[in-house]
Structure 1
């Protein structure tokens, strides 16, 4: 059974550092920074199984355009305990704690080519995204990011409301150039985006298994990065919002679902 609790002591935050090293293989955040954050509106949540720390969520206050929000910086689960729903449990507990602290929105970044993260963030939690950041963290040499620009989606998770996604027959799916032996490649971006604004809903393919593809063909992964960068930046500039990641049962790609923001409805949660 997973127990999730707030972490605040130096000893607890040192445990977090050890988990960071295991999950990301790089230097952890200094304790003097994390303890300052959790004492000033931030949150450090730990997931425990039989008193072993197996997952962590770390966030701190953010401020922009006159609004305060919670900036969620880390979410990690020990490799031996992944794919068990612990990440989602941490996010749901983070949401409840954030609401008690008075926050209405959380934000964090993730690699848009990581479809597993996209499915959790958009389809499961209900986050939305209309911001694309090129090479957000510069060059990183850890196992997940080495050799690629660290492009990121900046996700918004409005924890006090629910977005109503419109239905429309005016849909378009960005085409693939080819699919061979389970490996896919995007078609020409310029032609795919020509006249795109006439559609209410656009589906954008991304690799189903991004990290595995990196091991097979680094040049192909770079092609995916650059083409999807152009696609998402164009769609966001034209007023589209990423609202879901729809997974294919079989095949090498999944599809982001983007809709025109002007067509979306909002339902506020009851207090």
Structure 2
């Protein structure tokens, strides 16, 4: 029984509502046939060439067998439309709490606007709280503004660590051989903000008005990309970096280096990424502030 039984019950109720809203059934997966389906889905999402695999079904089988989390979302016809996998990381002298580490999560193309990803994450939150896990971490590409907003605004996670070329060279149409820089998302499963977000009550994030004197740096497109406004720093990323990589890989590469430099500097100064606006501006608040 979870030590945070009331919060675990809240998470379970929120996960049910999220699944119902998305029109899916979310559950834990434990069958070999299911793991094979998940492998195929992930390869489709990441647009990998034949013979490549994001995560093999054998590894998913081992993760599930070890008592870790493999979550699936199926539509009313039983078709797999999303999946996620996470392992459990024990507490240590440097990390006092037991937590979850999300290895991967993906939604079948055409379903990303239907709330499937949100339902998957809320199921994982409930799963973790039921096992007295207080935090989940994962990495994501800071240039993919849609994912960034989902992680830091929709879910209520935050980030204060930038990992340069975290995975090394990555294949596939989506990554297009771009350096695999990542932000490390930290999702406090027990926080008031995460609970509010689970009930679809996220904190609104919008770039405040600013003047030319507030602009600290221009982006590779010549427009303001780093500004100081309303007690915080703000960093802009492209609206659709995946499309930009296909249309103009050199410009996409310049965005990578620009954003890398900004985040490296602001994290070193103690700022924390706490939310992303709909138009792709990260809010970077001084450490310890909301």
Of Structure 1 and Structure 2, the greater strand share is in 1
Instruction: Tell me what 1:133 maps to.
Output: 163
* Count of residue pairs the alignment pairs up: 246
Does 2:29 align with 1:7? Answer: yes
Q: State the partner residue of 2:234.
A: 203
The answer to whether the 8 Å contact 1:203/1:255 transfers is yes
**Which segments of 5 or more consecutive residues in structure 2 lack a partner in the other structure?**
1-22, 195-202
For residues 99 and 112 of structure 1, the distance between their equivalents in structure 2, rounded to whole angstroms, comes to 27
CA distance in 2, matches of 1:30, 1:212: 27
CA contact (8 A) 1:72 1:108 kept: yes
Higher mean Cα deviation, 30-39 or 85-94? 30-39
Q: Which residue among 228, 231, 237 is the counterpart of 2:259?
A: 228
Q: In the aligned structure 2, how far is the partner of 1:204 from the partner of 1:29?
A: 32
> What is the alpha-carbon distance in structure 2 between the residues aligned to residue 219 and residue 124 of structure 1?
31
Which of 44, 65, 81 lines up with 1:22 in the alignment? 44
Whether contact under 8 Å (1:185, 1:224) holds in the other structure is no
**For 1:107 and 1:236, how far apart are their aligned partners in 2?**
17
1:230-252 residue CA offsets vs partner (Å, 9 max, x unmatched): 1001100100000010123xxxx
Once the two structures are TM-superposed, the CA of residue 199 in structure 1 deviates from its matched residue by: 8.1
Equivalent residue, structure 1, for 2:149: 119
CA distance in 2, matches of 1:140, 1:185: 29
Aligned to 1:52: 79
CA distance in 2: counterparts of 1:28 and 1:263, whole angstroms: 37
Structure 1, residues 124-166: CA drift from partner, whole Å, max 9, x if none?
A: 000000000000110011111123100000100001013599x
Distance 2:186 2:69 in 1: 17
Following superposition, the deviation at residue 31 of structure 1 comes to 3.2
Partners of 1:48 and 1:137 lie apart in 2 by 30
* Map 1:170-181 → 2, pairs under 5 A: 172=214, 174-176=216-218
- Alpha-carbon RMSD across the aligned residues, in angstroms, is 2.7
Residue 174 of structure 1 contacts residue 202 of structure 1 at CA under 8 Å; is this kept in 2?
Answer: no
**Unaligned stretches of 5+ residues in structure 1:** 179-183, 249-253, 265-271
Local SS of the residue matching 1:47: strand
Tell whether the 8 Å contact from 1:174 to 1:204 is kept in structure 2 after alignment: no
For the structure 1 residues 223 and 54, does the alpha-carbon distance in structure 2 shift closer, same or farther, using more than 3 Å as the test?
A: same
Instruction: Give TM-score scaled by structure 1 length.
Output: 0.82
Deviations 1:91-126, CA, capped at 9 Å, x for gaps? 111111111011100001100000000110011000
Q: Which moved more, 1:23-32 or 1:214-223?
A: 23-32
2:130 maps to 1:88:
no
Cα deviation for residue 225 of structure 1 reads 0.4
Q: How much has 1:28 moved relative to structure 2?
A: 4.0
**Which of 50, 55, 65 is matched with 1:39 structurally?**
65
Q: Do 2:175 and 2:242's aligned partners in 1 also have CA atoms closer than 8 Å?
A: no
Rounded Cα–Cα distance in structure 2 between residues aligned with 1:200 and 1:124: 22
Select 2:249's aligned residue among 204, 208, 218.
218
Deviations along 1:163-186, whole A, 9 cap, x unmatched? 599x9x9x85544357xxxxx346
What is the DSSP-based 3-state SS (H/G/I as helix, E as strand, rest coil) of the residue aligned with 2:172? Answer: coil
